[in-house]
Amino acid sequence: MSKYGKMTSKKNTPQSQKAHPDQVKNNAGGYSFKLGPFEQFERFLILGSMGGTYYVSERKLTLDNANVIDQCASLDAKKTIDMIVDVSVNGRAPKQDPAIYALARLAGHKDLEVRKGALGALTQVCRIGTHLFSFLSDVEEFRGWGRLLRTAVANWYLEKEPRALAYQVTKYQQREGESHRDALRRAHPSTQDSDLNEVLRYAAQKLTVPVEWIHSTKPHQVLFGAVEAAKRAENASQIVDLIDKHDLVRECIPTQFLNDPKVWEALFQKMPMGAMIRNLAKMTTIGLIAPMSDVAIEVVRRLQNTEAIRKARIHPLQVLFAQATYAQGHGFRGSNRWTPIPQITDALDDAFYKAFENVEPTGKRFLLGIDVSGSMGYGYIANSFVTPAMGAAAMAMVTMRAEQNWYCHGFAGSFVDLGLTAKMTMPEVLRKTNSMNFGSTDCSVPMNYACDRKIPVDTFCVYTDNETWVGNRNHPFQALEKYRNKMGIDAKLVVIGMTATDVTIANPNDAGMLDVVGFDASTPRVISDFAK
C-alpha cells in the first residue's frame, strides 16, 4: 500500500463513469475532480479566460470564473483580496487584466467591508495609469461612483509625489475609453499641495504649460516643459536632446520621429526591461539593433541579468511571446519585417528561464506528459498567441533544463515522441508542439505507459486542460495507484492546469498528488519542492 494512504479505488473504471464520490462531469463528458473555489480562482488570476477553451466559450468561462470570485469572497474576503494582490505584485501572471477585473468586481460587492477591502488594495494592484484605466472600465459594470470609489481613485493620484504623478499622466494618457481627465472629473481629488495640484490640473487639461518650464527648478514642471517642447520639435536632434536631458519616454515622442534610429538609441539608454523586450523588433527593423552593434551587445547583456528581469517583474510568457515573434522575423499583425540577430534570440531563450523563480535540481526521476490532444490546440493563454499545448511544452522545458533525469512525451489517446530535447530553443519547441495537436484526451496515458514498460518514475508531471474523457480507459488517479502497486514506488503526480476551468485529474484526497497553475512564475519551483 502506498504511504499516501489507503487505495481509493480498486477498479479500472472507464473515464466516462464516476470512479470516486468527489468526481464531477467535466466539459468533455468524462469525469474529473472538482477544484476548490480558491484553486479555480488562482487559475483564473494567472491564465484568464480570453478565447475560452475547446469545450467552453469565452463568455461562459468568464461567467464561471466571475461566480467563483463571488464564492471566494463569501468564504473569506480577505484571503480573496490578498490572492489578487499577491498574484499582481509578485508578477505571477502574464497579464494584469484578470486581477484587475476581480478587484473591480469585489469593489462592487454587496457587502460594504468587501468593497472597502477591494478599494483599499487599488493602489497595490493598479500601479500605473493603464491599470487604473482598466479598473475604471471594469468597475462601472458593478457599481456607480459612490464616496468609497471616489476616495479610492482620488488617493491613487494624491498618494504620489508630484514628479512621479507627472510621469504617470504623460506616459499613460488614455485606454479603454478612459482618461485622466475623466477620472479626475469624477473623483474630485483635493489637496493643499500646490505642486500636486498643478499636476492634477495638467492631467485634467486645465493647465497651459509654457515651454519655459523646461528650465524650472521643480521636477514636474521640467517634465511638462520637455513634453511641450517635444510637441514643437522640428528635427530628431532636438528630440534626442530632450530624451537625454529629461528622460522622455516613447509615449511622449511625436510619431513623425519614431522611425529615426537616433531617437530610439536615445530612448534605449534608460529604457525599462519590459519596454526593451516589447520593442526589440522595432529597433531591429529600423537598424538600431544590427549584427555586432553596441546596442545588440547591450541588449544581450541586459537579458542575461537575472536580478534585473525579476526586479522588473518580467513574466515568462512575455519573454516567450517576444522571442517567438522576434525569431520569425515578422509580426503576427502588420507588415514589419526584420532579420533576427541570433545572439538576441538566444538571450531571449535564456531570459525565459530566468523569468521563473529559481529551480533547484532535485535528482529525482521525472516523466513529463504534455497533452497535445485536439482541445489543447484551441484558445490562447492570457490573450497571447500561445495555445495551451504550446504553453505546456514551454513549461515542461523548464523542468527539462533543471533536471538530469527526465523522460518527456506528448499524449492524446497514446504516447507520442515529440522529439524534444533540453537544448532546443523555445521557438523550435513551440513549432514542434503546435504541429502535434490531435485526437482524444486520455490523461491516464503517462502513468499507464510507464507502468506497462516498467519505467522508474518518482514524479509524473502532466500538463493538460484536465478534460480527460476516453471511455474505455482507467482514470488517471487509478493509473497512478496501479503504477505505485506494480512498481513499488510511491510516485507523485503534479497536474499543471493550462486553462482556467474548474476541474483537475489530481485526487485532492491523495497527498501524493498536486494541482498547480500553468504559467504561474512560481510553478517550476513548486514542482521541484513537491518532488523533493
Selection from 451, 462, 475, 454 nearest residue 527 by Cα: 462
Complete DSSP assignment for 185-245:
HHH----S-HHHHHHHHHHTT--PPPGGGGG-SSHHHHHHHHHHHHHT--SHHHHHHHHHH
Calpha distance 438→420 (Å, rounded): 18
| pLDDT tens digits for range 259-301 | 999 999 999 999 999 999 999 999 999 999 999 999 999 999 9
**Nine cell digits for residue 220:** 514636474
Residue partners of 123: CB distance under 8 A and separation at least 6: 155, 156, 159
**What ranges do the domains of the chain cover?**
23-37+360-531, 208-267, 271-314+316-354
The Cα–Cα gap between 527 and 13 comes to 28
pLDDT for 334 equals 65
What residues pair up with 495 in beta bridges, in sequence order?
462, 515
CA 376/CA 466 separation, integer angstroms: 10
| pLDDT score for 187 | 96
- DSSP E strands in 358-512: the ranges are 366-371, 406-411, 415-416, 459-464, 492-497, 503-504
List the grid coordinates of 26. 467535466
Reported as type and span, the H/E element at residue 471 is: none
In the block, cell 495640484 appears at 197
pTM: 0.91
Alpha helices by DSSP H, listed for 405-475, are: 426-434, 445-452
Q: Which residues of the chain have pLDDT under 70?
A: 1-2, 4-10, 50-52, 54-55, 332-334, 437, 471
pLDDT of residue 512: 96
Q: Are 402 and 459 in contact (CB under 8 A)?
A: no
C-alpha atoms less than 13 angstroms from C-alpha of 488 in its C-beta half-sphere: 0
Residue 420's pLDDT is 92
Q: What CATH number does the domain located at 23-37+360-531 have? A: 3.40.50.410
CA distances (Å), origin 519, targets 14, 148, 353, 465: 31, 34, 12, 13
Cα torsion 84, 85, 88, 93: sign? negative
